[in-house]
Structure 1
């Protein structure tokens, strides 16, 4: 069994850590408030944005799952660049088998509904994508093997923003705009699966099987919730320029053998609605 370190043990990190622990791996988690780390993960109370304490020895796998606390350049720099620099420096005397850096599909800026794969260009059009790409480059140039996973929009337990908006009658959608998502359980399953693979590429996209027009998702949710019709809006030229509109492909990660528990929003949201 492996010794695993999860840097940034928030919701997704704790879910991953618990799942790996249940499979027999020894898991350590870094978080500023260690009391928020779920057992049986071994907690490490530390701030990734300052000097880290001595880390456990002989670590095999590292997962960097950090989110920016606010939407500004300083927060993104600390979360995706500074924190990773500190972690890599703290691991300088170790030789882990692999580092996984969790990024975002927002670095793909296609806006005409194009199909997007790992080979499609990504651009630092704004501070958030620039910092994400900077962090990706750090991860891929670390002194040990690294892989970047770019997740689409994550939903699942505790991530019910879209359901809440529909219920409150505040949801509106733009016509002809595609969205891409992944259930949080598939995020965990996908990362576990990649950890077990012998030969990894530098980059994988993490989304479900079905890029979907945003209005179709809203309308489906409204029907399930018995809510009146969703307001549709025609995108303006300005909103089209600012909003991504792409169809992300998960073919590469599926080629590794991963099978999605929630292949589309219907399966994932159906279960969430039942729990609500």
Structure 2
């Protein structure tokens, strides 16, 4: 069994740590507020934006799952650049088998509905994607084996923003704009799967995976389906202007690479995932 460090033990990190602990791995979690960390994870109180304390011996795997507290450059720099530097410094003398860095599919800048896989080009056209790519480069250029996972839009329990907007009639959608998403349970499932895959198949993991469900879907289809399930009026459809189309993400992401490792989606489509949430809300 492995000793695992989760740097940035928030919602996804705590769920991941709990799952890995159930599989008899030993888990350590770094977080500013350790009161939120479940009992199955050994807490380390620290802020990733500052130098980290001495870590437990014999760490095998590291998951870097930080999140920027605000949508501004300084927050993204602290979360995805400075925090990465401090984490790499703290583990430099450990015999780490692999570092996993959780990134975002927003670094793919395609806006014309293109099909996108791990070999597709990225863009650093704004501060958020630039900082994410800086963090990825720091991880990939370290001397540790490393893997980046770029997740699509995450939804799930506690992440019901879209449901709330549709129910309140406060949302519209752009025609012919593709979207990509992943349930939080599959985020956790994918991360645990990749670590366990690496344990059984050393050095066979790729350096990059896209984390989305099996079904890229036009945004309007998702909104309309939610409105139907919630028994509320149809969502307004608008025709995007060329300028707004270029500013929005509009691409079809492929999860073929991670599925090729044997991962099976818990929620393969948005209908599966959102229906589970709606059932729980009732």
User: Separation in 2 of the partners of 1:203 and 1:62?
Assistant: 16
Distance in structure 2 (CA, Å) of the matches to 1:274 and 1:144: 43
Describe how 1:1-276 pairs up with structure 2 within 5 A: 1-197=1-197, 198=201, 199-276=204-281
Cα offset, 1:112, TM superposition: 0.4
C-alpha deviation, 1:51, in angstroms: 1.1
Point out where structure 2 has 5 or more consecutive residues left out of the alignment: none
Deviations 1:167-199 (A, max 9, x none): 101021000000000000000110011102221
Q: CA deviation at 1:210?
A: 0.1
Deviation per CA, 1:77-129: give whole Å up to 9, x if none.
11001001000001111111000000000000000000000000001011100
Q: SS of the counterpart of 1:196?
A: helix
Q: Shift of residue 244 of structure 1? A: 1.1
Q: How far apart are residue 146 of structure 1 and its match?
A: 0.5
1:153, distance to aligned residue in structure 2 (A): 0.2
Give SS of 2:85's match.
helix
Displacement of 1:207 in angstroms is 0.2
Query: How far apart in 2 are the matches of 1:39 and 1:235?
Result: 48
Query: CA separation in 2, counterparts of 1:156 and 1:67?
Result: 17
Q: Secondary structure at the match of 1:216?
A: helix
Instruction: Give the secondary-structure state (helix, strand or coil) at the position aligned to 2:222.
Output: helix
User: Residues 12-51 of structure 1: CA distance to partner in whole angstroms, max 9, x if unpaired?
Assistant: 0000000000110000000011111112100000011111
Q: Deviation per CA, 1:199-255, whole angstroms, max 9, x where unpaired?
A: 111100000000000000000000000011110111112211210100000001101
Query: What CA distance in whole angstroms lies between the structure 2 residues aligned with 1:180 and 1:145?
Result: 28
Query: Which segments of 5 or more consecutive residues in structure 1 lack a partner in the other structure?
Result: none
TM superposition score normalised by structure 2: 0.97
Measure the CA separation in 1 of the matches of 2:166 and 2:3: 43
Cα deviation, residue 141, structure 1: 1.2
Runs of at least 4 residues off by over 2 Å? none
Aligned CA-pair RMSD: 0.6
Instruction: Find the aligned partners of 2:238 and 2:55 in 1 and give their Cα distance.
Output: 51
